[in-house]
Chains A and B, each alone.
Chain A
Amino acid sequence: MLTMSHLQKVYRTHLIETSALRDFSIHVREGEFVAVTGPSGSGKTTFLNIAGLLEEFTGGEYQLDGIDVHGLDDNARSRLRNEKIGFIFQGFNLIPDLNLFDNVDVPLRYRGYNAAERKRRIEEVLGRVGLASRMKHYPSELSGGQQQRVAIARALAGTPRLLLADEPTGNLDSLMARGVLELLEEINTQGTTIVMVTHDPELAARAHRNVHVIDGQVTDFDGEPSLRESPREAGIGERESPRAEAAPLHS
């Protein structure tokens, strides 16, 4: 699903040059739930930005779902982001002036779906995260956990192949964090690949595999799971993992 080989990312100013990623290689297979951990400033977010085509890289190779993304123009990157990637941000990044329906609608409009198709998808994903009855509510009327659920619904609405989560529980209390994590786990069991950046070891332990990043390099990682033909069939969740049993979505 996601393969980075010897990736380099250098930030340059007229005074200094900073290597955010150095010889960074990672391979995430379809259906995996990978946690990327590391201390602040280690390059986790840079990795996430590059993985999500939010930033370009300086050197190396990156293939997303079999597509070499190097050299794609801005419009092509936007289209690829829209079609293949769902984002979950630490701060939820919901648009405060739009109700839940319209928030979830944002990526679908950019996809070019017609109104009926968008409505069907929005109702489905909001139902999936337990917020179908609050479509006309605004983000400010929801709790943090509910807002993150909306963000997850928005990320899922376009049926992405890859879900990128940036500290998805970073702004939530432990109860809400658990609910969100369980939701992510369920999404993963349904076949969506998830890459989650976190510095929370407890959270990371719930993933199938941890990749540890220090100074822009992968310093430690669990061995890739030996997946069967189809991760959905293989049931990644069955692999030994401290992850809890899937809980009801609407906790």
Chain B
Amino acid sequence: MEIRPILSALMRSKVSMILIGLQVALTLAIVCNALFIISERLERMHRPSGMNETDTFWFVSTGFGQGFDVRGTMQADLALLRSLPGVADATTVISVPMSEGGWSTGISLQPNQNNSTAETAMYMVDAHGVSTYGAKLVAGRDFRAEEVTFNTMDDPPKAATVIVTRALAERLFPDGDALGKQVYYNNEGPTSTIVGIVERLQTPWTSADFVDNSTFVPAYLPYATSSRYLVRAEPGRRDEVMGAVEEKLLAANPSRIIGKMKTIAQVRAEGYAGDRAMAIILGAVIFALLAITALGIVGMASFWVAQRTRQIGTRRALGATRGDILRYFQTENFIITTLGLVAGGILTYGLSLWLMRSYQVPRLPWHYVPVGFLCLWALGQLAVLGPALRASRVPPAVATRTV
């Protein structure tokens, strides 16, 4: 290998080497961190919500007119919905996972605790809530009909019994079974008893740092004359049910407006639209950076081949085979890329540190850098291959040409 003479020759024309090296370094730093952010976003986007997303949809019903009986309408609507062909179950809700709007609160283990032990999303449901969401009860029991209270925004539920997600249960009681334990959703009380634990249910906020902490509260909670419903259809009948619901509800009570129905698949798509856009933009940035770096290498190598045609001819005259010339340019590129990657490795961790401090991005996993090294080495070798092959085809007779 001609590493030493190539390196010493490169040191004589530092500017080109530094420019390409710097480009490689920046590319590594940006690509590694961008890829990590993309993977974080993709992981978040593909995180299971814990609910049935394929057969469910939700909508809002807003009554109008003097004396609209929201409580009676809710009871009637639920009975109607559950009676419709193709409906597996239905419940009143205030929110669904990934909808980016809902109710959250802090939970304490002691009355008047200064800082709450955990944050949680609150899902107000009736006794059909766990079933309609499709959450999997892993311990305890479901709500009983008599536990469900009717509340308003001015009179929020006291939540004598709650069902929590396993993540929240473990957060509250890491040493033992949370079932039957009492917690405070309100600092002054009363206490709430955990009667059930579901495997998982994501919060409405996709980027919440307590995304797995959710609580089912047995309560009807309309907002003025608006009530929200979540319906779970029998497998494969969601669209059919969605088509029938509006007509039936309006026929039952025309003094209201039925809002646009959204499947939970749509909710997921909207909830993660920002993440998707971020992933696409960062992907485009990565592609552009890699393309620019590759083109930079191609351009520089092509320039060097043109500039050194006589030199290549001389090397061939002195006994270099085509393979030797090819290897020369590949080795040269390898050296420049490696120098750039070493600087890039430091830059990558520096950028990661800055992202951690400024944007709460998690620490870049160590394996991104070696994988980035391999990718950029491969990119460099691929980019230089064309010019290096051109160089290897320079005939040795060029050495004796005077012009």
Contacts and interface: CB of A to CB of B under 8 A. Distances in A.
B8 A81 contact: no
B71 to A, nearest CB: 88
Interface stretch (A28-36, A63-71, A100-108, A233-241): A100-108
B5 A81 contact: no
A110 B316 CA distance: 10
Contacts of B10: 97
B319 A54 contact: no
The interface size bin for chain A is: 35 or more
B174 to A, nearest CB: 64
A87 interface: yes
Given A54-B399, A89-B314, A93-B314, A74 B321 contact: yes
Given A54-B317, A78-B316, A107-B318, A95 B9 contact: yes
Contact of B402 (A49, A91, A102): A91
Main secondary structure of the interface of B (DSSP, over half): helix
A81 B314 CA distance: 12
A168 to B, nearest CB: 12
Contact of B399 (A87, A96, A97, A158): A87
B5 A87 contact: no
A55 B317 contact: no
B319 A97 contact: no
A110 B322 CA distance: 11
Interface in A44-69: 45, 48-49, 52-55
A185 interface: no
A78 B319 contact: yes
Interface string A94-127: 0111110010011101110000000000000000
Interface in B209-267: none
A137 interface: no
A124 B397 CA distance: 29
A211 to B, nearest CB: 18
A89 B399 contact: yes
A83 B321 CA distance: 13
B272 to A, nearest CB: 54
Contacts of B402: 90-91
A154 B317 CA distance: 12
A53 B318 CA distance: 11
Interface string B1-44: 01001001110110000000000000000000000000000000
A79 interface: yes
A75 interface: yes
B166 interface: no
B300 to A, nearest CB: 15
A78 B2 contact: no
A48 B12 contact: no
Interface string B42-78: 0000000000000000000000000000000000000
A79 B322 CA distance: 11
A7 to B, nearest CB: 16
Contact of A110 (B5, B9, B310, B319): B319
Contacts of B320: 78, 110
Given A91-B402, A110-B318, A54 B5 contact: no
B310 A81 contact: no
B199 interface: no
A183 to B, nearest CB: 19
Nearest to B323: A75
Contacts of A111: 319
Given A54-B396, A166-B400, A106 B9 contact: no
5 contacts: A78-B320, A91-B402, A98-B5, A99-B8, A111-B319
Given A53-B396, A96-B12, A107-B318, 14 more contacts: A52-B317, A54-B317, A54-B400, A55-B396, A78-B319, A78-B320, A78-B322, A79-B321, A81-B396, A87-B317, A102-B5, A106-B318, A154-B318, A166-B400
Interface of A: 45, 48-49, 52-55, 74-75, 78-79, 81-83, 87, 89-91, 93, 95-99, 102, 105-107, 109-111, 138, 154, 158, 166
